[in-house]
Amino acid sequence: MKRIEIFVENIILASRWLLVVFYLGLAFALAIYAFSFAGKLIDFVAKVTVLDETDTILKMLGLIDAALVASLIVMVIISGYENFVSRFDSAEEVHWLGTIDAGSLKIKVASTIVAISSIHLLQIFLNLTQYTTDQLLWFTLIHLAFVFSALFLAYIDKLMVKEKVGKKSNEPSL
């Protein structure tokens, strides 16, 4: 019976390597998105002299938005691989690599989503005439839902850290 248990445990442990397919897929999607970003940048450069201030700001916000989305993808790829598949051999070269655990990843992802949502909301407010009052209300409520979710995740993470610290201080010393 113990052999079967060990066999099952080995299969379960090895299954984490299936995540690599997802991370490689995200890396490929990031490359495609970089191509899309280059197109947006070229379009912006080509039109910069004829754009008014609002349109210039909107184009730049679009570029910032793309950079945040790309950063989010990289964050998920690197920290997901590091946390769930295998440690990077070159972790010493990248000082921050081992510092993003699953909890802090959630906070960073939520914060990035709030930043992306903020940019979209700002773009909407710069084009107020294109939206109805109801649409503006819904966009704002959706953004606030993202903000409250991020704050709630941060609060939960803070409680978890406090709980871990409390457990460590109650352990008997040797």
Per-domain residue ranges for the chain?
A: 1-97, 101-168
> What is the value of pTM for the model shown?
0.72
Counting residues of the chain whose pLDDT is more than 90, the rounded percentage is 37
Which of these, 54, 160, 56, 67, lies nearest to 106 by C-alpha position? Answer: 160
Q: Report how far residue 67's alpha carbon sits from residue 78's, in angstroms, rounded to the nearest whole number.
A: 16
**Which of these, 23, 125, 120, lies nearest to 64 by C-alpha position?**
120
Q: Say whether pLDDT at 26 is over 90.
A: yes
Q: What is the mean pLDDT of residues 16-32?
A: 95
**pLDDT on residue 140:** 93
Reported as a single tens digit per residue, the pLDDT across 80-135 is 888 788 877 765 665 555 566 666 777 788 888 888 899 889 889 888 889 999 99
Of residues 68 and 171, more confidently modeled: 68
The Cα–Cα gap between 113 and 77 comes to 16
Q: How far is CA 132 from CA 28, 136, 138, 153, in A?
A: 38, 6, 10, 32
pLDDT higher than threshold 80 for residue 48:
yes
